């Protein structure tokens, strides 16, 4: 093992000791700082996965949980997971295991920001709908928040 590869391995362990990372995210961080070949990098990442230090399934589940706690909707979370290189099947599995009631989550976020009263004014409803869309909720869920309360 070359010195550069050893330093890359130690950096990976240091990063993973702070928080979970996706395989792509960790690879990007390592290649920014260390000059390792693609095959060496893949070998290093495979070794970390075999040691159970690196696990995209665990990362996806943690990411979904923490994003839900921050008030993000499913669309925003799934795009973020895709950006971080998590496979769509693993992301879907993480969503299913989270068992989040997205309608309840959207309702909670709207009430937290705007209060319990559902507005009658179209402009105010549109403003609140844009807020929920920006949080990453689907339009069907947003419409259900306003129509279920009527």
> What pLDDT is recorded for position 25?
96
85-141 tens-digit pLDDT: 999 999 999 999 999 999 999 999 999 999 999 999 999 999 999 999 999 999 999
> What pLDDT is recorded for position 150?
44
Alpha carbons 41 and 14: distance in angstroms, whole number: 16
pLDDT of residue 148 exceeding 90, the answer is no
Q: 1: pLDDT confidence band, cut at 50, 70 and 90? A: low
Q: Which domains does the chain have, with CATH numbers?
A: 3-54 (1.10.10), 57-98 (1.10.10), 102-148 (1.10.10)
Alpha carbons 37 and 41: distance in angstroms, whole number: 6
Whether the CB-CB separation of 36 and 8 falls below 8 Å is answered with yes
> What pLDDT is recorded for position 8?
94
Mean pLDDT on 16-24: 96
Contacts of 127 (CB under 8 A, 6+ apart): none
Task: Tell me how far CA of residue 62 lies from CA of 30, 69, 87, 93, 149, in angstroms.
Answer: 22, 11, 15, 12, 32
Alpha carbons 147 and 141: distance in angstroms, whole number: 10
> What pLDDT is recorded for position 149?
53
23-53 tens-digit pLDDT: 999 999 999 999 889 999 999 999 999 999 9
Please give the DSSP secondary-structure letter assigned to residue 52.
T
């Amino acid at each position: 093992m070359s010195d550069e590869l050893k330093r890359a391995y130690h950096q990976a362990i240091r990063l993973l000791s702070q928080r979970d990372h996706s395989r792509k995210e960790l690879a990007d961080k390592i290649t920014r700082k260390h000059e390792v070949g693609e095959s060496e990098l893949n070998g290093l990442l495979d070794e970390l996965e075999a040691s159970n230090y690196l696990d995209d399934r665990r990362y996806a589940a943690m990411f979904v949980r923490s994003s839900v706690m921050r008030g993000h909707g499913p669309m925003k979370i799934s795009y973020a997971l895709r950006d971080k290189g998590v496979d769509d099947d693993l992301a879907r599995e993480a969503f299913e295991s989270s068992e989040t009631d997205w309608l309840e989550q959207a309702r909670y976020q709207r009430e937290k920001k705007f209060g319990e009263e559902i507005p009658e004014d179209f402009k105010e409803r549109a403003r609140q709908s844009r807020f929920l869309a920006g949080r990453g909720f689907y339009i069907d869920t947003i419409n259900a928040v306003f129509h279920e309360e009527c």
